[in-house]
Amino acid sequence: MPPAPFSSIAFGYGRRISCSANKNNTLSEYDRTLPGLLRRNADGQTTQSYGTQEDIIMTEQAITLSGFGLINSPRWNKGTAFTDYERDLFDLHGLLPPHVGTIEEQLARRMKALEQQPTPFGKYAFLRDLQDTNETLFYSLLVRNVEQMLPLVYTPTVGEGCQRFSEIWRKPRGLFLSYPNKDRIAQILSHKRYDDVRCIVVSDGERILGLGDQGAGGMGIPIGKMALYTALGGIHPEHCLPILLDVGTDNEDRLKSPIYIGWNHHRVRGEEYDAFVDLFVQAVKKRWPHILLHWEDFAGSNAARFLARYRDQLCTFNDDIQGTAAVATATAISAMNVSGVPLEQQRIAVLGFGSAGLGITNLLAQFLQERGLSAQEARSHFYAIDRYGLITEKGKDVRPEQLPYARKEEEVQAWRQPGGEIGLLDVVRNAKPTVLVGVSGQPGAFTEVAIREMAKHAVRPVIFPLSNPTSRSEATAQDLMDWTEGRALIGTGSPFEPVNVLGKKVPVTQTNNSYIFPGLALGILASKSKRVTDSMVKAAAEELVRHLPTQQDKQASLLPPIADARPLSRLIALAVGKKAMEEGQSELAHEDALKREIEAYVWNPAYASYVRNQNSMYHRA
């Protein structure tokens, strides 16, 4: 039996919406109050399947593609789940095996095939291929298996994915905007297929995790981040556009590789580079005036510069700076729940004082000021260590944004070694930090001597080796536990296996940005915010703090299970949206409206019924 010409769907808070033809191709006023529930995409297809995670909804979608075009479209392909009626309607008989399956059967088949891949990189490549073949199935697999899939689609495996990106690139996803095509950027962005884009993750591939310059291979990062926008934030994949700004690479291995897919040229730098980035930003602003632009894995100095330059021109944030800061701050507060030592009594050393280290320090300083400290008093709790050692007022290559945390020369003169620099061990011996954060990208930087010295002065030392991927971590979790006699409170940037403490296996908390940026993005988009303020990022961190397991149980993990990240993202989105309204950044006026917008935005990966009807419109039953 073919489906009824129009089917009803469940939406949001239990309302019913039905579908009917509208010869005038217009929306009712009620329809206009449900942004995200209904839209016509660039191909003229009316689509939707939004709703709560617990109430996966099935919608009717009008499709213009057929045959090979339909099954080769990752957005619309259903594989063996096309019904007999749809196979008749869209000329699919013969192109597909005769079995008509369900998404549950497909998930079981794909999971079995995934498990047969012998390496994490093999699994990563398998999932990338699935994403480029059947998006709904890909996201359904992620949503139902977050804890298992997250390390495969993002850190740590995405690092190798970027290094070997040229080996596995098969189908277009996102946009490569290369320097030789700088005069074509506006033309490239203007295509109607991008009409529904609402958020962009952009990288130039220069500082990919802790692996350095990967050139065009850095596209793995925007693709991975956008996948988590959808899997954890619920943002529809049609709204997401990954972009790689290809200005060349200084990675000689890439330049010498015969299979490298990027622009084979050393990096453009200086004024030409800045002009190219500005050309991109201005084209984005013109194409999508209300876009959310997320900067990712730019070199430290460029990351901070671009955020400062453009944050008042459009809605933008940098996850390396702001997202890392939010999750690291929440994890630190969780550790203090366990130790019983409040934030204002902590001495904090930060190894690696680029954009990420500075972002973490700035946000922790804001939390300290909320506890009654002055700005100067808050800054005095930090010891910033960069490539030339402890940052001092007259230190080498100290950048202006680092100066507020620079130590006075007379304060630390006695700490200096004969070589003149003040290293991590010198800081540990003299400042006696209780918290140590690493964002240096230097494996082994947390030495046994330094950690054992730290443990002499802290009952529960808080130690966060946050560099990604695992190969760039400042220390392994097991070493940190061994060197502190099992007393360390640890948060890592990449996942580690449970550690052995006194014969017991103890899980290691991964301080993962994925707790923050999907909900932050959802809140920004749903609230129709004009800008991303520091207070909105802080609100995301504060909401995560409210859900820390250590609020009730000091023996618990420092962060909630990553499997809870999707529902947690909605709560973070609500907190971010409320802050945007409070600061006058949102177009919305009431919290109830914000809640409706969030629910309307959340897409769930479930197959819809397909019909050939380009004029169908949804209206209230």
pLDDT digits (tens, 9 = 90+) for 61-72: 899 999 999 999
Side chain identity, residue 203: S
- Residue-level pLDDT at 208: 93
d(CA 320, CA 314): 18
Domain count, the chain: 3
**Mean pLDDT across 352-368:** 95
d(CA 98, CA 316): 48
Cis peptide bond prior to 469, omega within 30° of 0: yes
Burial class (CB in 10 A: 0-12, 13-18, 19+), 471: middle
**What are the tokens at 324?**
């890392």
**Mean pLDDT across 121-138:** 98
Residues 531-585: tens digit of each pLDDT: 999 999 999 999 999 999 999 999 999 999 999 999 999 999 999 999 999 999 9
Identify whether residues 538 and 481 lie together within a single domain: no
What share of the chain has pLDDT > 90, as a percent?
84
- Residue-level pLDDT at 10: 27
Confirm whether 108 is domain-assigned.
no
Q: Residue 256 CA to chain centroid, in angstroms?
A: 31
Identify whether residues 533 and 499 lie together within a single domain: no
- Residue-level pLDDT at 531: 97
Q: Which CATH number characterizes residue 263's domain?
A: 3.40.50.10380
d(CA 204, CA 277): 9
Q: How many helices (H) and strands (E) does the chain have?
A: 25, 21
Identify whether residues 363 and 390 lie together within a single domain: yes
Radius of gyration of the chain (CA): 25
Confirm whether 377 is domain-assigned.
yes
Identify whether residues 351 and 495 lie together within a single domain: yes
- Residue-level pLDDT at 306: 97
Last residue of a domain, one of 485, 511, 537: 511
Over 70: is that where the pLDDT of 26 sits? no
Confirm whether 339 is domain-assigned.
yes
Identify whether residues 240 and 379 lie together within a single domain: no
Choose among 335, 270, 255: nearest CA to 305: 270
Taking each helix axis as running N to C, give the angle between helix 517-526 and helix 220-231, from 0 to 180 degrees, rounded to the nearest 10: 70
Identify whether residues 375 and 481 lie together within a single domain: yes
DSSP 459: S
225 is catalytic: yes
**Mean pLDDT across 445-462:** 98
Q: How far from 555 is each of 510, 541, 559, CA to CA, in Å?
A: 16, 21, 12
- Residue-level pLDDT at 301: 83
Identify whether residues 356 and 483 lie together within a single domain: yes
Identify whether residues 341 and 455 lie together within a single domain: yes
Phi-psi region of 40 (alpha: psi -120 to 50; beta: other; left: phi over 0): beta
- Residue-level pLDDT at 417: 76
Over 50: is that where the pLDDT of 333 sits? yes
Confirm whether 153 is domain-assigned.
yes
Identify whether residues 344 and 231 lie together within a single domain: no
Average pLDDT over the chain, rounded to an integer: 89
Helix, strand, coil percentages, rounded to 5, for the chain:
45, 15, 40
Residues in the chain: 621
Please state the pTM of the whole predicted model. 0.88
615 band by pLDDT with thresholds 50, 70 and 90: low
Contact yes or no for 244/177 (Cβ under 8 A): yes
Residues 29-55: tens digit of each pLDDT: 323 233 333 333 444 443 443 333 334
Confirm whether 523 is domain-assigned.
yes
From 50, 124, 139, 154, the catalytic residue: 154
- Residue-level pLDDT at 613: 62
- Residue-level pLDDT at 165: 97
Contact yes or no for 244/203 (Cβ under 8 A): yes
User: What 3-state DSSP class applies to 90?
Assistant: coil
- Residue-level pLDDT at 300: 77
Over 70: is that where the pLDDT of 340 sits? yes
420 band by pLDDT with thresholds 50, 70 and 90: confident
Over 50: is that where the pLDDT of 15 sits? no
Identify whether residues 396 and 330 lie together within a single domain: yes
Query: Residue 393 — φ and ψ, nearest 5°?
Result: -60, -30
383 is catalytic: no
- Residue-level pLDDT at 581: 98
Q: Which spans in 387-476 are helix H?
A: 409-412, 424-431, 448-457
18 band by pLDDT with thresholds 50, 70 and 90: very low
60 band by pLDDT with thresholds 50, 70 and 90: confident
From 78, 123, 124, 225, the catalytic residue: 225
Side chain identity, residue 564: D
- Residue 542: partners with Cβ closer than 8 Å, 6 or more residues away: 575
* 462-465 and 489-492 beta bridge pairing: parallel
273 band by pLDDT with thresholds 50, 70 and 90: very high
d(CA 145, CA 141): 6
Domain that holds residue 427: 322-511
Residues 224-259: tens digit of each pLDDT: 999 999 999 999 999 999 999 999 999 999 999 999
Order of strands, sheet of 175-178, starting from the edge strand that comes earlier in the sequence: 175-178, 240-246, 199-203, 292-295, 315-318
Q: Which CATH number characterizes residue 481's domain?
A: 3.40.50.720
Choose among 5, 57, 55, 26: nearest CA to 619: 26
Confirm whether 551 is domain-assigned.
yes
Identify whether residues 355 and 480 lie together within a single domain: yes
Identify whether residues 488 and 543 lie together within a single domain: no
d(CA 386, CA 400): 14
Mean pLDDT check: name the lowest of 295-304, 364-373, 608-617: 608-617
